[in-house]
Each structure stands twice: as C-alpha cells, then as structure tokens.
Amino acid sequence: MQLLIHRGTKEIGGICVELMTGKSRIIVDLGIPLVSARKDQPFDSKVIEGKTVKQLLDLGVLPAVNGLYRGDAPCVDAVLISHSHLDHYGLLRYVHPDISIFISEGAREMIGVSDIFTPHRTGALNARIVGCGKKFKVAEFEITAFLVDHSAFDALAFLIEANGTRVFYSGDFRGHGRKSALFKKMVADPPRDIDCLLMEGSMIGRGEQIYKDEVAVERGIREVLESKSNIAFLFASSQNIDRLVSAYKACRKTGTTFVIDLYTAFILHRLGAKTKSLPQFNWPNVRVKFFKYHADKIAEAGHEKLLYLFNQQKIEMEEINRTKENVLMILRDNSLFPKVIAHIHPVGGATIIYSMWEGYLTDKFKGYCREKGISIKQIHTSGHAIPKDLTAFAKALNPRSLVPIHTFHSERYGELFDNVKLLEDEEPWEVPV
Ligand SMILES: [Zn+2]
C-alpha cells in the first residue's frame, strides 16, 4: 500500500491523506487549513469564497488529487471523514458527487447543522453511514471504524487494510473526555499487527493543561456557579457536546438555569433522537433564548415546527435579568454579546466562563470586559490527547512505523515514540510490511 499525505505532516488542520493500491485509491479527511501556506498566520477562509476548483488548486488550498473534484472524471473510490471539524471535512463541497463519503451518523448530522447556521456550506453529501466495529469494503480496501473520544461528536479512527498491509489513522482523539473509556479500551485491547500508525500530535509542544479532564471542567464550572452573585456566561462551541453536558450537570447540581440559544437547542434535539443521554430544551433547568438570526435560519431550513416546540421553554431578557444570579447563559464573542449585556443591570460582577481554546480570546475582548466589570475565568480542557496518552496509545498499537500528522512538532515525535517515520507533504511512501 502506498501512502501520500497531501497536507498535515507539519501542521494542524487542512488534513488530507491518500492511500493507494495498484487498483484503488481512497482519501482520508479533506479539511480546510488552519494556517497559511507559510504557516506563519491563520488561514483566511474568505479566500475560498467564489473560487473555482482550478483556482483553489492553483492556490494550493485544494490538495492536488486527480479524479477527486467536481468537473474531473472521478477516479477516487471513496473519501473517509473522521469527524465534523472543518479542518477535517471543510473542502468536501468540491468532491465529485459520484464519489461516496464514508462518515459517522453524528458527523453527518453536525455538518448538516453547520450548513444551516454558519456561512460554511457543504451541501448535499453522497454519504454512506459508517457503523463502528464493522468491517466494510471499498474497492481493494477493507476498513474498520472505531469510535474515539474527541471534542467533535461521533468522531472516528480508521483501520485500513489492503493486500496484507494494515494502516491505522488515529484522527483527532484524547483520553480525558467524557468518552475516555473508549481510549482505555483501545489501549487495553488494541488492533494488532499495525504496519503504519498515522497519529495526531496537537498537544505536543503545548504547555500543561490547568483542567486535566472534562470532569475537572465540570467541577470548575460548578465552583463558579456556586460562588457567583451575578449572571454567568458560558463561552463554548455548541458543537462541543461534552462541554454542554458538563455545563448542564453543573447547573443541575447548583440549581442554576442553563439558558441555551436556538442553535444549541437545535443541535441537542437533532442528536438527542439517537443519543438519549443528551440534555434537551425541555429538561429541568433548561430554558431557550430566541435570537432572530437563529430563528430565521431554522425557518429557512424548513424546521418552523421546532420553533413552536422550543417556544414552550422560551425565556425573555427581562426574566434573565430578574433571575440573573441563577443563570448560566451560553454565548460567544460575537455581535450578540453586547446586545445581551445591555439588558443586564448591573452587568458589573458578571462572569464569563471561557470554555474554548485560549487562542480565540483576544486582547480586544479582554479589554472590553474589563471596562464593563465582567470577569473572565478560563475553564477548558483540550479535545486532543496529552503527550502521556499519546505515548500510551503508540505503545499499545506498537506499529512498525509511526508517521506524525496533525502536529506542529513532528520533529519531537522521535523523542517520544519508537519507529517514527517523518514524511513531507506530497511525499509518496510505500508502507513497509
Ligand atoms: Zn478535531
């Protein structure tokens, strides 16, 4: 089997891996880059808008994969998507519609939600839903998907076999989220005889985490809710389901009302149809704040009926202000935030629980909060495995070759793991067996 990492050997984001046998080709992940080609600044996703496949190929945004994109004669057998983060799926809209996309049900659902609420549109997917643990065939490849613990819902790793060669693609994963049991199970009973492990290393070279796991995050949120005397805001991605569960549990334990927006209510409702343990808009302690933007998006997508449903638990700003000592409200650093706090009297003494990657927290926003007397408490744990867990994972899978991917520090892999094989982007490599 031949392996070709189009992008991702020395960066986080923009992942695209190609696997080939004599007769078959598959692509694993097709993500938007997070950094510029020179890796010195954030990728400007606006450059994509309005461009043709040819222009995006020329710009190097689309990896050079022949037979993959619209307008080309399709000669790729399938695309596998590990999870619903843009840096893993964000270029799917350019894929030829005849090529099947293998994806988990939860990831397909989340991509559909992003299509409704965010400017990033993927459009209709030629999706084939992947069940975990069951082997499926694509041309000469045999593939097994494994559910993993990550901050994206229903994230997968893949074991990919062909002609006696076994490649394991970790995707993004961790051992400290709400699904840490999956990590422990994989380490205790790993797939055997792995010739090549492609393993993410997002946390290599980053500092220690203050909140070591999702349980610590839940405790941290609870402590804020217990000690606060004004409203608290939760700044978190509504697609980070583990985090929503942590916040909900903290609210339940402290008798706090968790005010979610329609976007969050919609996500939980969609996923709740399959996963019964996820908090819903009509569960105790949950209320829904309607914002026009979200309501319009839901209506445009043809789900008006849900607005009537969510209306049962609607909360207005007047009530939020009146009961503010007992409210945790989900929001983010966007144009809604100043509009909301204009209704909170006084707003001084309010707390923001900043529960996202600290890189998103700007000095401008910090200054704005300082002026308003709003304190910011960072309570977050990463979606990615810490080095200790990466080591345990690599040891357990014990691959003949370990290839770094999704990392800014591939040069450090050699110190941490055995059998490391460094590749460059676009360097073809025959996987030794
Ligand atoms: Zn991810």
Backbone φ, ψ for residue 61 (5° rounding): -75, -50
Span from the CA of 289 to the centroid of ligand 1 (angstroms): 28
Answer for the pair 59, 47: CB distance below 8 angstroms, yes or no: yes
Dist CA 165 CA 2 (whole Å):
10
Clarify whether residues 136 and 273 are in a common domain. no
CA of 386 to the centre of ligand 1 (A): 14
Centre of ligand 1 to C-alpha 392, Å, is 20
What pLDDT does residue 242 have? 96
Q: Give me ligand 1 centre to Cα 99, in Å.
A: 23
For residues 31 and 46, state if they share a domain: yes
Distances (CA, A) of 117 to 47, 58, 124, 303: 20, 30, 15, 13
Last residue of a domain, one of 360, 378, 396: 378
> Can you tell me the distance from the alpha carbon of 159 to that of 368, in angstroms, rounded to the nearest whole number?
48
| Torsion on CA atoms 203, 209, 212, 214, rounded to nearest 10 | -80
Distance 81 CA to ligand 1 centre (A): 11
Q: pLDDT digits over 117-148, tens only? A: 998 899 999 999 999 998 999 999 999 999 99
pLDDT single digits (tens) 263-293: 999 999 999 998 999 999 999 999 999 999 9
Cα of 95 vs centre of ligand 1, distance in Å, is 20
Distance between Cα 372 and ligand 1 center (Å): 34
Query: Which residues, given as ranges, of the chain have pLDDT below 70?
Result: none
Same domain, 364 and 249: yes
> Domain containing 333 — which CATH number?
3.40.50.10710
Say whether both 313 and 391 belong to one domain.
no
150 and 202 in contact (C-beta within 8 Å)?
A: no
* Enclosing domain of residue 415: 2-206+383-430
| CA 172 to ligand 1 center in whole angstroms | 5
Encoding tokens for residue 59?
A: 């710009």
Residue 87 CA to ligand 1 center (angstroms) comes to 7
Domain identity same for 197 and 255: no
Tokens 């007047």, residue located: 318
CATH number at residue 409: 3.60.15.10
> Is residue 307 located within the same domain as residue 167?
no
Which residues lie near ion ligand 1 (Cβ < 5 Å)? 85, 172
Total structural domains in the chain? 2
On whether the CB atoms of residues 258 and 247 are closer than 8 A, the answer is yes
Q: Are strands 257-261 and 2-7 parallel, antiparallel or unpaired?
A: unpaired
Distance 89 CA to ligand 1 centre (A): 10
* DSSP at 132: B
The CA 84 to ligand 1 mean position distance, Å, reads 7
What per-residue confidence (pLDDT) applies to 227? Answer: 96
Å from CA of 151 to ligand 1 middle: 7
- My answer on whether 348 and 246 are in the same domain is yes
pLDDT at 208: 86
How many A from CA of 313 to the centre of ligand 1? 32
Judge if 224 and 140 occupy the same domain.
no
Among the candidates 336, 363, 378, a domain finishes at 378
- The pLDDT of residue 38: 79
Long-range contacts at 207-213 (CB < 8 A, ≥ 24 apart): 209/381, 209/382, 209/386, 210/378, 211/379, 211/380, 211/381, 212/176, 212/381, 212/386, 213/176, 213/177, 213/180, 213/381
Identify any residues that bridge with 159 across adjacent strands, giving them in sequence order.
Answer: 144, 168
Confidence at residue 280, expressed as pLDDT on a 0 to 100 scale:
98
Distance 150 CA to ligand 1 centre (A): 7
Token digits of residue 367: 């200054």
**Is residue 211 within 8 Å of residue 220, measured between CB atoms?**
yes
Looking at the fold, whether 23 and 61 belong to one and the same domain comes out as: yes
pLDDT of res. 42: 86
**What's the pTM?**
0.95
Beta strands in 272-338 (DSSP E): 286-289, 327-331
Q: From the CA of 85, how far away is ligand 1's center (Å)? A: 5
Residue 19 sits in the same domain as residue 90 = yes
156 and 233 together in one domain: no
Give yes or no: residues 402 and 321 share one domain.
no
Give 130 Cα–ligand 1 centroid separation in angstroms: 18
**Could you write out the DSSP letters of every residue in 234-270?**
EE--TT-HHHHHHHHHHHHHHT-EEEEEHHHHHHHHH
Ligand 1 centroid to residue 103 C-alpha, Å: 14
Which among 358, 3, 396, 360 is positioned nearest to 187, based on CA atoms? 396
Ligand 1 centroid vs 226 CA: distance in angstroms?
32
pLDDT at residue 100, rounded to an integer: 98
The pLDDT of residue 8 is 97
Using an 8 Å Cβ cutoff, are 103 and 85 in contact?
no
- Would you say 8 and 16 are in contact if contact means Cβ atoms under 8 Å apart? yes
Distances in Å between the Cα of 387 and the Cα atoms of 13, 62, 229, 407, 408 are 19, 31, 38, 12, 14
